[in-house]
Chain A
Amino acid sequence: EAGVAQSPRYKIIEKRQSVAFWCNPISGHATLYWYQQILGQGPKLLIQFQNNGVVDDSQLPKDRFSAERLKGVDSTLKIQPAKLEDSAVYLCASGRDSNSPLHFGNGTRLTVT
């Protein structure tokens, strides 16, 4: 089966600009997650979707981050405006359901200058 697809792979923006990341999960996977991985740290959950509904967004900085999952398939994560501390790898993961192990994409590496 095809894996989790993410784009772009790399993005460099200036602070206060906006940026969007895209994720296409494994076909048939109902659960989709966005994680933030800062250099030298483990992934931190930003938001979890079950189909097209939000299950957990308690760690999403909602004043600048937003995410949506249209039609319960693809998802986009947006940051507006970006801050220097948002420099990280943004990982998308999917699971068959919330009880299944996560399958990760290769992430988008964001650098904010």
Chain B
Amino acid sequence: QKEVEQDPGPLSVPEGAIVSLNCTYSNSAFQYFMWYRQYSRKGPELLMYTYSSGNKEDGRFTAQVDKSSKYISLFIRDSQPSDSATYLCAMSAGTGGFKTIFGAGTRLFVKA
């Protein structure tokens, strides 16, 4: 079993839809949870960074962490074609990049 599981998709939605992206994990020591966005032929870009359980909102993006279920989510409201990218979840037991484990990424297509 992988430490972090993420459905690779692809996920295709119409413009304006609410997108839900999810990851599950097995290591209960993970405390820091991140979502990165990666456009084609670009490096990952940090979108959200949360600690422990709870919700965090930033504009159209909301990150949720449920440590009891070992499940994290990223919601994108009013999705735009420019949101088309691969979304990577990542998590670590310590802060920053030390021992950060990435999911495989979910490819998202938002159709105009």
Question: Measured between alpha carbons, how far is A55 from B43 in the docked complex, in Å?
Answer: 23
Tally of B interface residues using CB under 8 Å: 26
Question: Measured between alpha carbons, how far is A105 from B41 in the docked complex, in Å?
Answer: 11
Is residue A111 within 8 Å, beta carbon to beta carbon, of the partner chain? Answer: no
Is residue A102 within 8 Å, beta carbon to beta carbon, of the partner chain? Answer: yes
Is residue B60 within 8 Å, beta carbon to beta carbon, of the partner chain? Answer: no
Q: Show the binding face of B for A, using Cβ within 8 Å.
A: 4, 6, 8, 34, 36, 41-46, 49, 88, 90, 94-105
Instruction: Tell whether A42 pairs with B43 under 8 Å between CB atoms, given A93-B97, A98-B95, A102-B97.
Output: no
Q: Which residue of A lies closest to B88 (CB)?
A: A42
Tally of A interface residues using CB under 8 Å: 27
Residues 81-113 (chain A) with a chain B CB within 8 angstroms: 91, 93, 95, 97-107, 109
User: By the criterion CB–CB under 8 Å, are A106 and B103 in contact?
Assistant: no
Question: Measured between alpha carbons, how far is A4 from B42 in the docked complex, in Å?
Answer: 12
With a 10 A CB-CB cut-off, give which of B34, B43, B44, B95 has the most chain A CB atoms: B43
User: By the criterion CB–CB under 8 Å, are B43 and A106 in contact?
Assistant: yes
With a 10 A CB-CB cut-off, give which of A48, A98, A101 has the most chain B CB atoms: A101
Is residue A56 within 8 Å, beta carbon to beta carbon, of the partner chain? Answer: yes
